[in-house]
Amino acid sequence: MKLTIFETGRPPAPVSDRWPRYPVMLESLLSPHLAIAAVETIAVGEGEALPPVEQVEAVLITGSPSGVYDPLPWIQPLKSFVRRAAAASVPQVGICFGHQLLAAAFGGHVAKAPQGWGIGRHTYAVSDKEPWMECHGRNSLHMAVSHQDQVLEKPDVASVLASSDFTPYAALMYRHAPALSFQGHPEFDPGFARDLIASRRGIRFGEKEADAALESLAGPLDNAVVGSWIAGFYRHHLPGARAQPEAVQAAA
């Protein structure tokens, strides 16, 4: 399988010298569960051109410090691209900003959440079971999060896969197209999540919020579960994308 990753942002300067870029994190998340023949990273947030839809096999959209409503020159073209890709049945997965962008592109509403910043480790109830959720019949997910924006109104074509009181639309899947998205960050190593919070404490959120978020990260994260689900989603919609047998056995 060839995976095209749209890089919509980078780790901020205080932590970027210690951690890899988001596409590298995401490839590391997926590679134990999926036979990826090639990865193409396109830094759309830095002005790199979008490819023709017909040249793309599978899409993954990263997180970003930008908002999907920001008047940046690359955001509307990216929304248009995901709509064309949906019409062409290209499987697409969005993470954080990517989750919000898919929702906005398909008719939802994204804005700053009235409940404020989501940071640390959040727990979500899983409200549906899909055939691509191989090996993991889970009722809940624990994920690292870092977001101020949320999907406040989901698109009519979206179904809720996971939710919490803080984030009612924590994971969405789409009925009109092969698309899946998560507000949380399954690619975040707990150490990266801690460094990110530490770099922003007292700047984007208060000391008490930062301390509570750091304490929450002592709990386990379900990164491998979500990675296996994303891989299963791609395989389900791309029959030629075969799993590595040893990876499937390990995920079990």
Residue 237 lies in a domain: yes
**Position 179 in a domain:** yes
**Residues 92-101, mean pLDDT to the nearest whole number:** 98
> Residue 247 — pLDDT band, cuts 50, 70, 90?
very low
Catalytic residue (choose from 7, 27, 33, 96): 96
User: What is the DSSP secondary-structure string of 56-82?
Assistant: -SEEEE---SS-TTS--TTHHHHHHHH
Q: Which of 7, 27, 187, 209 is catalytic?
A: 187
Tokens 């709509």 belong to which residue?
83
Evaluate if residue 145 carries a pLDDT over 90. yes
Contact residues for 240 (Cβ-Cβ < 8 A; gap 6+): 1
Between 32-46, 152-166, 237-251, the lowest mean confidence (pLDDT) is in: 237-251
Domain assignment present for residue 132? The answer is yes
Whether residue 174 is contained in a domain is answered as yes
- pLDDT at position 135 over 80: no
Whether residue 252 lies inside any domain: the answer is no
250 pLDDT more than 60: no
pLDDT in tens, 61-73: 999 999 999 999 9
Arithmetic mean of pLDDT, 81-103: 98
CB-neighbour burial class of residue 31 (10 A; exposed 0-12, middle 13-18, buried 19+): middle
Structural domain boundaries, residue 70 = 2-247
Give the rounded percent of residues in the chain with a pLDDT score beyond 90: 89
Number of domains in the chain: 1
Catalytic residue (one of 7, 185, 209, 237): 185
Catalytic residue status for 185: yes
- Total-model pTM: 0.94
- Quick check: is 212 in a domain? yes
In a domain, 170, yes or no: yes
In a domain, 52, yes or no: yes
Residue 245 is predicted with a pLDDT of 37
Question: What CATH number has the domain bearing residue 125?
Answer: 3.40.50.880
